[in-house]
Amino acid sequence: MAGLRERKKAQTRKRLADVSFALFRERGFDNVTVAEIADAADIAVSTLFSYVPSKEALIFDQDDEFERAAVDAVRDRAAGTSIIDALEAHMIALRRAEPDDGPNRADFQELLGTTPALQEYAERIFRRWEDSLAVAIAEEAGLPPADPGILSLTRFVMEANGIADRQPNPEGALREIYDRLRRGWGDIGG
């Protein structure tokens, strides 16, 4: 169980993420200053930067946890569970566990889609996650991380949630994507 200090840090981090997201949605990312966010969260600017390295990082408050969890899903999977099955279960569980008290995926995607600075930041995070996941998959498969099959699988896994988000039934789409990853593409167009 987390101690008081860790719980307070988590609460402050969440408050920063929620406040910054609300301000960005209301006024636009470029029209909100870090000082305004700190003031709205009732902390000093210097304290804000002890939680995040940049303004862009404010709405990606859990990026380290997401990266670690995906890698752990591969490394800590049950014996006999394939990497694809472990990643599918992880991504579906992640989708189901989204909190009701924060921004929803559609609002987040809308903000991201209209803010070039956030798009660039998200791309850097995405590539870092992809690299970490490729290393974990490669280690488990006994292949080098630069193996084309490892890189392809990792890219598909990383893109799956974004593709599923644009479908009427995101979880069903996610299952279909992972099923296709298991079976391959040999039956398409033939």
Are residue 13 and residue 78 in the same domain, yes or no? no
- Give the per-residue pLDDT at 190: 54
Give a yes or no: residue 56 inside a domain: no
Q: How many domains does the chain have?
A: 2
Are residue 40 and residue 66 in the same domain, yes or no? no
Determine the structural domain holding residue 23 and report its residue range: 4-51
Give the separation between CA 7 and CA 178, rounded to whole angstroms: 36
> How many of the other CB atoms lie within 10 Å of CB of 39?
14
Give a yes or no: residue 190 inside a domain: no
- Give the per-residue pLDDT at 45: 96
Q: What is the DSSP letter of 122?
A: H
- Give the per-residue pLDDT at 103: 62
Are residue 87 and residue 177 in the same domain, yes or no? yes
Give a yes or no: residue 57 inside a domain: no
CATH code where residue 33 lies: 1.10.10.60
In the chain (190 residues long), the average pLDDT of successive 10-residue segments reads 84 91 95 97 94 92 87 96 95 82 74 93 94 95 93 93 89 95 74
CATH code where residue 86 lies: 1.10.357.10
- Give the per-residue pLDDT at 60: 85
Give a yes or no: residue 105 inside a domain: yes
- Give the per-residue pLDDT at 175: 96
